[in-house]
């Protein structure tokens, strides 16, 4: 198998693009897909200050690597969830990448440790407040990423969601007809009100397999295991179904998700209408000032509850 572009020996075949690439041309292809995503979805300009949400996994570290290599100013935030060996190992991978790659581009890593603020790791915290672990985790990660982005004056927050993640999420939202989620499933969510950072997903044009190959070929050392809490989750089931379809007909995920984006772009309310809607229901939390629909935001409620029920 030879490289479609330069005809030297290929290292990866991409059936959905009917192409194969050598290492150099594959890196060029990946960088080009990210550059196209940034431009076509109006994510950010060359001078923007970007905050990348990193977990230690292949997608978020690859995203940080690609943005730095494309010449963007990108720092990162890692949230240590306190899930035993998984958190220790993922934290170590993020630190290693920061020291060996990101620092040479002048980039900084911010760290938030759940245990330090809540007095317990995510599993124990969720048990204390009687909420599912993943929804507790989601609230904490959303809150902390937004807080750091706003406090440290980043223009935009970038996450490592890839084509497989977005296609699986779309399948879940369609199966349950969750229309309000469908409306917000695009790769670029504007900062609708003051206090909310803009959020973007620059990897939505690349598959999980392509990102794993990028990480391996570029010697990015990442944590291979998924978070132990993800076991048996609906998202994993949707991904398996889509993978089966993709093997039979390469390009299925792309057609499904990109097709949805194409339809959305034709009916999407403008950023102004979305902002108007949000402005009508959101106001600052009386405790921390982050935008919320209630008087006190769900993060502050959670922390207050954790403090009252925590064993002393
Ligand atoms: S939500 Fe749940 Fe993930 Fe948090 S606790 Fe792990 S599996 S990391 S995306
Ligand atoms: Zn609050």
Domains, the chain: 12-235+248-269 (3.40.50.620)
Q: Which ligand is nearest to the CA of 79?
A: 1
The pLDDT, as a whole number, for residue 85 is 96
Of 229, 232, 233, 236, the residue with max ligand 1 atoms within 8 A of its CB, to mutate for a pocket test, comes to 229
90 CA from centroid of ligand 1 (Å): 13
Residues with CB under 6 A from ligand 1: 122, 133-134, 137-138, 227, 229-230
146 CA from centroid of ligand 2 (Å): 12
Residue-wise pLDDT tens digits, 138-163: 999 999 999 999 999 999 999 999 99
The answer on pLDDT for 280 being more than 80 is no
The answer on pLDDT for 312 being more than 60 is no
**Mean of pLDDT values over 265-288:** 78
Q: What is the largest CA-CA distance in the chain?
A: 67
- Which atom of ligand 1 is closest in space to residue 137's alpha carbon? 4
The pLDDT, as a whole number, for residue 272 is 63
Residue-wise pLDDT tens digits, 57-85: 999 999 999 999 999 999 999 999 999 99
230 CA from centroid of ligand 1 (Å): 6
């Amino acid at each position: 198998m030879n490289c479609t572009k330069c005809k030297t020996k290929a290292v990866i075949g991409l059936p959905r693009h009917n192409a194969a690439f050598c290492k150099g041309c594959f890196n060029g292809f990946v960088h080009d897909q990210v550059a196209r995503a940034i431009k076509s979805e109006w994510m950010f300009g060359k001078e923007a200050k970007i905050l990348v949400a990193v977990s230690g996994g292949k997608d978020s570290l690859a995203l940080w690597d690609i943005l730095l290599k494309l010449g963007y100013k990108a720092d990162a935030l890692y949230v240590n969830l306190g899930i035993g060996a998984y958190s220790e190992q993922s934290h170590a991978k993020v630190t290693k990448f920061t020291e060996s790659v990101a620092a040479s581009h002048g980039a900084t890593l911010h760290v938030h440790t759940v245990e330090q603020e809540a007095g317990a790791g995510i599993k124990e915290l969720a048990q204390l407040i009687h909420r599912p672990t993943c929804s507790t985790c989601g609230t904490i990660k959303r809150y902390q990423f937004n807080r750091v982005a706003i406090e440290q004056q980043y223009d935009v927050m970038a996450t490592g969601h890839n084509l497989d993640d977005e296609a699986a999420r779309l399948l879940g939202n369609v199966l349950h007809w969750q229309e309000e989620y469908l409306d917000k499933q695009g790769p670029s969510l504007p900062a609708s009100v003051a206090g909310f950072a803009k959020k973007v997903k620059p990897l939505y044009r690349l598959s999980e397999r392509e990102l794993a190959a990028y990480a391996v070929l570029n010697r990015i050392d990442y944590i291979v295991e998924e978070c132990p809490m993800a076991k048996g989750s609906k998202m994993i089931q949707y991904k398996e179904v889509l993978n089966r379809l993709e093997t039979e007909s390469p390009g299925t995920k792309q057609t499904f998700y990109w097709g949805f984006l194409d339809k959305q772009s034709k009916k999407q309310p403008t950023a102004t209408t979305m902002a108007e809607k949000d402005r009508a229901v959101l106001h600052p939390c009386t405790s921390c000032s982050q935008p919320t629909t209630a008087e006190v935001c769900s993060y502050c409620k959670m922390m207050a509850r954790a403090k009252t029920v925590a064993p002393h």
